[in-house]
Each structure stands twice: as structure tokens, then as C-alpha cells.
Structure 1
Amino acid sequence: MNFSRLVFFIFFTTCVAFGQNKVVSEIRIQGNKKTKTSAITRLTNIEQGKALDSLQIEKDIRRLKRLPSIAHAYYEVYEKEEGYEVVYGIEENFTIIPSANLYTTNNDEFAFRIGLYEFNLFGQNIVLGGLYQNDIYSSYGANLRAPFLFSKKLGVAFNYSNLTTEEPVFLESGTADYKYNNTSYEVLGLYQFNFQNRIELGVNYFNEDYTYKRGATEAGVPQDFDVNKLLYKLIYEYDNLDYDYQYVSGFKSTLNAQYVVSTENVLPDFLIGWNDFLYHKRIGKKGNWSSRLRLGLASNDDSPFAPFAVDNNLNIRGVGNTIDRGTGVIVLNTEYRHTLYEKDWFVLQSNVFVDGGSWRNPGGDFGDFGDSQNFRIYPGVGLRLMHKRIFNAIFRIDYGHGVTDDATKGFVFGIGQYF
């Protein structure tokens, strides 16, 4: 066979091979008990009667593993005479989950939040739940989230909360304590553009009630006021995370932008926005390096009621319960998680972390971020006890110890990873 005939033969056999590609003849879901098969298939993009696409199958599996109802997902492909049979295997989570957060510092501050959530209502990946909080005063809330109510891309969420806390207000003459109540009603439309990008748009009607309790006073700062507000919210998320039980890898970015309108002149209207950047990387077989960077800015009003708080349970582990406020924030949380023990459903994981951040003073400038009085660094250690087949069943305990000026130390307990 001369060279020209060899080239023709290779070209001909390649064309025949591609021309006889088999299509997907059957799609089967197995392993799901509570989750409806229809709820799974509506979220996948592989189609019967079309050519087998391994890249699309991989995307489907990654998307399924993100669902609260699914602990793990995998696929198998079988070749048959009439085409390919594709099997999606599902390992389900137990999804009726209590939640708990407890936090304290060496100043004997103590608060807790408990809740109960169903993350797979009716087997349709609908989230329904409520919570109770005690932070000097009692608070409660309820949430309903149906991200795929209308289609695989379109859903809705409703949130209600009645939150009451004692809030420190930082004045030039000292610190005042206010009883603060926020009662809110929120509705959000949820839309997922594709596998990695989604958006939430909505409105929140809420009432804020401040009542002076004790401490410093200052001319021009009201001691008691009650105001109704409207909050317009936009959340945009890019999610390229990949999950393998307790291990996470990839990048995620979440932008939260809000415009708050006051119905009275007690407080000014303002804009606020922040972006969380998360990066996770597998280290060897048992390690995970995870980091979160938060950048945020708000209207720079010279008000003691600034929106960004320095708080134990939000951004700096061990710092205390709302010890300062600002109109801008830069926070970096980074930690190394290592699996110490794993057997069947149980995982014991350790972590070593450093939380650091700085805030812009109300009415200040960007130079405030470099002011040592606004800068805090808290290294620490922690443990995680995990159940691999119960959604978010991660009991965490962290101990943070500050190394900057006027630092504190303390424990933070909770359900789920800190970020």
C-alpha cells in the first residue's frame, strides 16, 4: 500500500467511525430515595437521543454534588447495541438538620443561635426552616428557598426575621449600649444563567428600632428612634467549586450590593456592597487550604450606626461580639484543614487559621485601613467533627487569640465550616 492509499484509508475509516457514533439511548438515576428522580433529571443537561458528551456529564455530576440533598454523585456508561446507557449514581444526604452557633470571649460574653432546617422538602431541593437566637434578647426567623420552583434556572425565596440584640454604639465621648430590633420581610427572585453563574434580585421591607440603654451620650445622636426602610438587593455569584465529601477545590466569588432607602429623615439613605472571594485547594490526600477575602464599602456617613461590624461570629474568630463598626472592610481568613481520622461516615478534621482585617472609620478615609487601631490579627486552632452523609453536619470549635493592640481571645462554636 503506497502512501496516498494509506492516507485515504485512514481518512475513510475515521469518517466511518465518526459517522457511526452511538447516541445516548437511556438515562437512569439510581440510589435516590427521598429526592424525586424528576427533580434530579430537570437539573441535568444530558439528553436521550443525542451524542454522548463526557464533558457535559462531568458538569452534571459537579452540579448534583452541590445540592444539599446529595452527599456524593458519580456516573457509569454502558455500551449497548442501540446506544449508550448512562447511569447517574446518587448518595443522598440526610437533610433535616439542626443548626447551632455559640460564641464567647474572655469578657464572659455569651450568645447562641439554634435552628432546624429541611433542605430537601418534598424531595424537590426546597429549603424550609427557622431559627431562634439569644444574645441578651430573644430573636427568631423563618426562611423558604425554592431555587428550581419554576424551572431548572428560575426560583424564589422568602425570608422573615425579628432580630433583637444589644448593640454598642461608638461615640467620641465613649461607648453607648442600645437595644436594637430589626423586623424584616424579604422576597427574592433567583435565576441561574448557567452552571457557574447565578443572580438574586429582591426587596426587603424592614423596621429598625433603637432604644438607648446605658453609656455615653452625645448631642445630635438620638437615644430612641423607630424608622421603616426599604432595601433593594442584588447578589451575583460565580461558583466553580468542586466537592469531594469534606474536600473542596476551586474558586467562588459572591457580590452583594444593597441600596437602603429610609422612609423618614432619622437616618440617611445609603449604599453598601461587598464581595467575598473564596479559594480552596487540595493539599495532598488529606489536606485542604481554604481562604476567604472580603472587600466592602458603604456610604461614608459620619454616623455611629455604621454597617460593617467587627464580630466574633462573622469575620474574626476570638475578637468578641460586635466590638467596632466601620464604613469599609478588608478581611482575610485563611486556614489549613487536615483530616486526622476518617472511617465510613465519620471524619475528624483539624485546622490552623489566621484571621486578619481592618476597617474604615465612619466619615474617615482610606488611610484608616492602615491605622494600627483598626487592624486586627487573630491566629488560632480548631477541630471539626463531621458526618459525611448528613448535609452540613460539621460541628466546629475554634479558638482565636489576638496578637494586635488591645486584643482579646475566645472560642467560637458552630455548625458548618466558618467559611
Structure 2
Amino acid sequence: MRFLTSILCLLFFSFSLAQENTVVDVKVQGNKKLKSSFVKKIALVKVGAVLDSVQLEEDIKLLKRLPSIAHAYYQVFPANKPNEYNVFYNIEENFTIIPQANVYTTNDDEFAFRVGLYEYNLFGQNITFGGFYQDDIFSSYGINLRAPYLFSRKWGLALNFQDLTTQEPVFFNNTTADYRYNNTSMEALALFQPNFNNRFEFGVNYFSEDYQYLRGATSTNVPQDLVVKKVLYKLIYEFNNINYYYQYLEGFQSVFNFQYVTSTSEALPEFLIGWNDFLYFKRVGEKGNWANRLRLGLASNDDSPFAPFSVDNNLNIRGVGNTIDRGTGVIVLNTEYRHTFVDKDWFVLQGNAFVDAGSWRNPGGDFGDFGDSQNLRIYPGIGLRFIHKKIFNATFRIDYGYGITPDATNGFVFGIGQYF
């Protein structure tokens, strides 16, 4: 009915092509916490401008992407004078104070978790602020602030701090050693969105890496204690043409991430790293959704045990374990079919079947490593999604991945939010 009302209104004024139709008022309805002034600030449609159906559609697409909004639609009504119209943006808000949780296990009895709390609509301005605590053998924490529309529809700011400590395997000479790894970082990013489909982030990250030997193999060429200060220059470019309808997604997205890292140590030399995530979503019938993510990445090919790309449960291959390998190049494909079994006013139950597959280039190796069976990992699996439709990102997921390649593991991965 809402859709029909909008279409009829647009048809009404589209017949008057000889005269310009003008917007005399923009109203926001249904919002409680979200500020009407914020919606008007980021909307393309302005008071006094010519009424444009393309701008109306773009505004609705943008609003439905915001964390604070579960659904949005517009209505257009004639005002008191001919060729003058009132525009109404109707908002269904999300609850935006959201806990975060990620838990994973493997058949090696490994257990780790990350919990956090984030507000995604601080001050009613779609500002994200919060932090996390992680227990992965060692304790870690982080604080994040992200305000993509702080200055205007196009310009925003992000600030991040983290103190991350984990146990990391280091691979060299066909042996392995365990290190206590600490990364303490401060990051500032400028956020720029020139138009609806394109977005840039660029900035600097100052951080310190601390490696301390715990157990395992040793080598005179691999230091047992290492502290290195680094500066990272970051550029992210995103093209996003995904349409959202509650839990269903359709369209294409590409996210390119490039980093240049300086270093104060020859043991961890400066390097370049870049990767691109290609995401494609397709509606299948009324209740199905086919989701795909392809990651292609390369880094400077130093023959170092501290290579940047890792094989990890929470990053790329469900069920594989915690950082079981490293490389200087990566190819990973995640594909899954999501099917909605229950869809109520506020609750959704989804099931999914997936295949996670990937391969890595060895440090100092060549592109032939991607075809090496020792570097290839394939993990099919199944999972469940429990979704609250009126709370942002309130998707509790359970996945079980079972490896079918040599020396594979299996295990559960729990988390909040879709895997990708």
C-alpha cells in the first residue's frame, strides 16, 4: 500500500512536465531517537528544489543503509498551490545500542571470544561509538568512533584505538613456534563519500608490534624478542550498489584496501599490502538469498615468518582454527545459500549452507603456491541465523565447518552479524 501510494503520487506530478514541480516542505515521520535535522542534512531532496524522483529513490536507498533505520519509504503529496509538493520520509527505526559477541572452537579444544558494546546512533546522528574486550589466551581491548556524516553528507571522521594481544604461530623452515604478539595502535581516518555508490577512507595508523617467544622451534635467523614501531598509511575505496530489504540483500559491492607500512626494524621491513573483496548477493525466490565473497590479496613477498595474510576462523575459513598459517598472497571464496524458515514481524530464522575455500602464497614463494595442495583449504558447512528485524545487526549466527582437504580440522564459529 505504501509503495502504491508513492507511485500514484509520482505519476500525478509527472504528467505536468511543462512546469517544474517544486518541493516546499520535507518532513520526517516515525523517527524517535534519530534527529529529523540529520535526515534533512544528508538527503538530496531539499526545500525549494525541483522535485526529482531519482533523488527520492537515492535518499531511500541511503537511509535503508544506515544502522539506525530498519526500513524507510517516501510519500509525495500536493501542497496548497499548483506544482508545489510536500515530501514525507517515513522511518522505521532500529534499536541501536548493540552488544557484540564472537566465539569459536575447533576440535583441538581451542576456545576464544570477543564481546563488545556499541551505540550506532549516538546523539541521533548515526555516529558509532563503543568498544570490545577479547579473550584469546591473552586479553585485548579496543575503542572505536565513526562519524561518516559528521561534517556533511560527503565528509566524516573515524578514530580507533586498540591494544590487541594474541598467541600467534610463526612458521619457518617447516617448523612452528608460538609467540605472544601485541599490537597497540592509534588510527585517524578521513571519510569521503562523493556520491551514493562510492566511498573513500584515507588516513594514518601509528602502531607498535611486540613479539615475545613462548615455545616451539627456534632459529638464529628468527628473533625471540622483537619490538617494532611502525606507521601505516591507509586508503580504502568502496563501490556499493547493494539494495537492502530487511534480511535480504541484492546487488554488487567491491571494497579495495591498500596499505603502506613503514618500519624501524630490518626483521620486519616496510612493505606494501593490498586486497579487494568482491561481494555479490542475489535473491532466490521469496525466501532465498545467495551470498558470495571473493577476496584477492597480495603483499610484498618478503621471506619472513611474520607474513601479513593469515588463515583464521573468524576471518575467512569457518572451522579451520585460530591463525593456523600465514602467507604473502591470498585467494579466498566464501559462498553460501541463506533460506528463511520463519519470518515474523520482528523475528527471522534463517538456515544456511556454505563452502569456504582458500589458498595462500608462501612467504618468499611464487604464484604457483596458490595451486599447491598443501596451501589449499576447503571447508563446507551449515549454520543457523537468529535475526531481530528491529535491532541493527542483531543476527546471532552459529556455523559448523568441516574440512575436506588433508590435515583438516572442524569446529563451530559463533558470532553476531552475518559472516560477510
| 1:373-396 C-alpha deviation (Å, 9 max, x unpaired) | 000111000000000010000000
Alpha-carbon RMSD across the aligned residues, in angstroms, is: 1.0
Contact 2:268 2:306 in 1 (8 A): no
- The reply to whether residue 108 of structure 1 matches residue 127 of structure 2 is no
| 1:82-141 C-alpha deviation (Å, 9 max, x unpaired) | 222211100001000000000010010110000000000000111100000000000000
| 1:139-168 C-alpha deviation (Å, 9 max, x unpaired) | 000001111111111111110000000000
| 1:278-329 C-alpha deviation (Å, 9 max, x unpaired) | 0001111111000000000000000010000000110000011111000000
Distance in structure 2 (CA, Å) of the matches to 1:396 and 1:182: 28
Counterpart in the other structure of 1:20: 19
1:21 offset after TM fit, Å? Answer: 4.0
- Give runs of aligned pairs for residues 253-332 of structure 1, distance below 5 A: 253-332=254-333
Can you give the 5+ residue segments of structure 1 that lack an aligned partner in the other structure?
1-15
- Give the 3-state SS of the residue equivalent to 2:186 in structure 1: strand
Counterpart in the other structure of 1:229: 230
Distance in structure 1 (CA, Å) of the matches to 2:275 and 2:291: 19
Counterpart in the other structure of 2:213: 212
Distance in structure 1 (CA, Å) of the matches to 2:345 and 2:133: 33
- Give the 3-state SS of the residue equivalent to 1:372 in structure 2: coil
- Give the 3-state SS of the residue equivalent to 2:38 in structure 1: helix
Contact 1:173 1:217 in 2 (8 A): no
- The reply to whether residue 357 of structure 1 matches residue 362 of structure 2 is no
- The reply to whether residue 73 of structure 1 matches residue 47 of structure 2 is no
1:173 offset after TM fit, Å? Answer: 4.7
- Give the 3-state SS of the residue equivalent to 2:57 in structure 1: helix
Aligned residues: 404
- Give the 3-state SS of the residue equivalent to 1:46 in structure 2: coil
Identity over the aligned pairs, expressed in percent? 70
Counterpart in the other structure of 2:3: none
1:20 offset after TM fit, Å? Answer: 3.1
Residue type of the alignment partner of 1:246: Q
Residue type of the alignment partner of 1:352: A
Distance in structure 2 (CA, Å) of the matches to 1:152 and 1:256: 22
Counterpart in the other structure of 1:333: 334
Counterpart in the other structure of 1:53: 52
Distance in structure 2 (CA, Å) of the matches to 1:339 and 1:312: 25
Counterpart in the other structure of 2:384: 383
Residue type of the alignment partner of 1:241: I
1:79 offset after TM fit, Å? Answer: 2.3
1:33 offset after TM fit, Å? Answer: 0.5
Residue type of the alignment partner of 1:45: L
Residue type of the alignment partner of 1:354: V
- Give the 3-state SS of the residue equivalent to 1:240 in structure 2: strand
TM-score under structure 2 length normalisation: 0.95
Distance in structure 2 (CA, Å) of the matches to 1:91 and 1:307: 42
Contact 1:173 1:218 in 2 (8 A): no
Counterpart in the other structure of 1:31: 30
1:23 offset after TM fit, Å? Answer: 1.8
- Give the 3-state SS of the residue equivalent to 2:318 in structure 1: coil
- Give runs of aligned pairs for residues 194-205 of structure 1, distance below 5 A: 194-205=195-206
Distance in structure 2 (CA, Å) of the matches to 1:179 and 1:51: 61
- Give runs of aligned pairs for residues 92-131 of structure 1, distance below 5 A: 92-131=93-132
1:54 offset after TM fit, Å? Answer: 1.1
Distance in structure 1 (CA, Å) of the matches to 2:237 and 2:247: 25
Distance in structure 1 (CA, Å) of the matches to 2:50 and 2:205: 46
Structure 1 stretch displaced more, 262-271 or 38-47? 262-271
Can you give the 5+ residue segments of structure 2 that lack an aligned partner in the other structure?
1-14
Counterpart in the other structure of 1:174: 175
**Over 6 Å off, 4+ runs:** none
- The reply to whether residue 43 of structure 1 matches residue 42 of structure 2 is yes
Residue type of the alignment partner of 2:103: L
